[in-house]
Amino acid sequence: MLEISNSFLFQTMLKSAVFLGLSAGMLGVFISYQRRSIEINALSAGSFVGTLLLFLLSSLGLSISPYIFSQVDKHIYSFTGSILGILIMITILNILYKTNRLHPHIIQSLMTAVLLGVGITLVTSIRQAGGALDSGIDVYLFGETTSLTDEEFYFLRIITVTVIVLLLLFFRRLRVVIFNVDIAKTSHFHTMFYVHLINVFVVCLVALSVKLMGVFLAVSIFLIPAVTARLWSNRLFTITLLSGFFGGLGGGIGAVIAGNISHVSSGISITIVLSIMFFISLLIAPYKGLLGVWLRGRK
């Protein structure tokens, strides 16, 4: 039933899912130790609104080249909009954390839902103005692997190589930064550089993963491989490598499933594969697994 075909579209889809899983899985370990993994929900909602706003601008006729209003132009606009939306969202969230006595989690889940509401209002108003979004809202909500253009696919490859190289290069310093920023500040190196390095990777990868995985499930490819890897080992270096492996494997299997079955969008299949991997390793992992705990408790 499931087969890997040789067509160009299918190969691109498979490669993009594997690359995204690899890089997002490796980065997700660092984010989950910084306790920021829920923030990605809010960031992806921000990128949704940013995409729609820039899409509105482009349909008003503010084109980059005035003579050719092509499909490529629209894609550039929407991708720029998503990155701008994430950047604005990070600033708003940071202001809200500092000035409120509310817990950060409440701000994140509230802003996610609110920005989603703004986005839905924009979508329905765009639909009324003219059939700009014929492809349906499901593409935005749950993702489509074929939605990556050529430029974005090149961007994804560059980002993947950069993430792998830089995370392994700065591994020892990043380890200090993610566990305790205050201790890192007392050591003699530039702390904020490493914090912003992680932030830049987050911005780029969230903007790509919103297109592949959808608004709601964008967080799952960051979080689930990292948590799964944390069940298997206690060393950070092993966890990072394992998490990249799990993310790439889950992304690949999910993309194959989504390509072969018609009713399933890619975000849903990738998340299902990743969560099945999580539950299996929750059972059989050697030290922290339920089976091992139960056996050791019986003796």
Partner 1 sequence: MFSIEFEIVIVIILSAITCSIPGAFLVMRKNYYAADTTNRSAMLGIAVALIFSSYLSSPLVIILGSFTAGLAMILIKKLKDFTSFRAKGLSIIISSAFLCFGILIASNFSFNNATNFDLSIIYLGETAFTYFNRLRVFGVDIGSYALYAISLVLIINIVIIMIFYKEFKIDGVDKSYAASIEMKESTIDYLLLIMTSLSVSVSFQTAGIFMTSAFILGPAATALFYTKRLSTLAFVSVFISSIACLAGFGIAWPNEVSISGTIVSFIGILFIVSVLFSPEEGLLKKHFDNLTTQKRLEEYIIMDILNSEIIDCREKHINEELSSSLKWKLMKVSYIMNKLKAENKIEIVQDKVQLTEEGKSILNKFLSAQHCFH
Minimum distance, C-beta of residue 127 to partner 1, in the bound complex (Å): 9
Residues in the chain: 299
Considering only residues 101 to 120 of the shown chain, the ones binding partner 1 according to CB under 8 A are 101-103, 105-107, 109-120
Q: What dihedral do alpha carbons 100, 102, 107, 108 form, nearest 10°?
A: 110
Ordered DSSP codes for 217-274: TTTHHHHHHHHHHHHH-S-HHHHHHHHHHHHHHHHHHHHHHHHH-TT--HHHHHHHHH
**219 part of the interface to partner 1, by CB under 8 A:** yes
Considering only residues 221 to 260 of the shown chain, the ones binding partner 1 according to CB under 8 A are 223-224, 227, 230-231
Nearest to 190 by CA among 207, 173, 210: 173
Closest to partner 1 by CB, 75 or 211: 211
Closest to partner 1 by CB, 121 or 180: 121
User: Distance between alpha carbon 170 and the CA centroid of its chain, in Å?
Assistant: 22
**138 part of the interface to partner 1, by CB under 8 A:** yes
Considering only residues 21 to 40 of the shown chain, the ones binding partner 1 according to CB under 8 A are 32, 35, 37-38
Find the part of the chain contacting partner 1 (CB under 8 A) among 73-81, 148-156, 162-170, 214-222: 214-222
Rg of the Cα atoms in the chain? 20
Q: Are 44 and 206 in contact (CB under 8 A)?
A: yes
Nearest to 143 by CA among 272, 246, 26: 272
d(C-alpha 104, C-alpha 92), whole Å: 12
Find the part of the chain contacting partner 1 (CB under 8 A) among 17-25, 83-91, 166-174, 211-219: 211-219
Minimum distance, C-beta of residue 86 to partner 1, in the bound complex (Å): 18
Q: Are 26 and 226 in contact (CB under 8 A)?
A: no
**5 part of the interface to partner 1, by CB under 8 A:** no
Handedness of CA 266, 267, 273, 274 (dihedral sign): positive
Residue with tokens 């499930």: 217
- For partner 1, what does the binding mask look like between residues 154 and 193, x meaning CB under 8 A? ----------------------------------------
Nearest to 33 by CA among 294, 253, 243, 191: 243
Nearest to 71 by CA among 156, 140, 158, 135: 135
Count of residues binding partner 1 (CB under 8 A)? 56
**88 part of the interface to partner 1, by CB under 8 A:** no
Minimum distance, C-beta of residue 288 to partner 1, in the bound complex (Å): 6
Find the part of the chain contacting partner 1 (CB under 8 A) among 64-72, 81-89, 98-106, 150-158: 98-106
Closest to partner 1 by CB, 18 or 123: 123
Minimum distance, C-beta of residue 212 to partner 1, in the bound complex (Å): 15
Closest to partner 1 by CB, 57 or 114: 114
d(C-alpha 194, C-alpha 187), whole Å: 13
Closest to partner 1 by CB, 70 or 124: 124
Which spans of this chain sit near partner 1 (rule: CB under 8 A)?
A: 32, 35, 37-38, 41, 96, 99-103, 105-107, 109-121, 123-125, 128, 137-138, 141-142, 216-217, 219-220, 223-224, 227, 230-231, 263-264, 268, 271-272, 275, 278-279, 282, 288, 290, 293
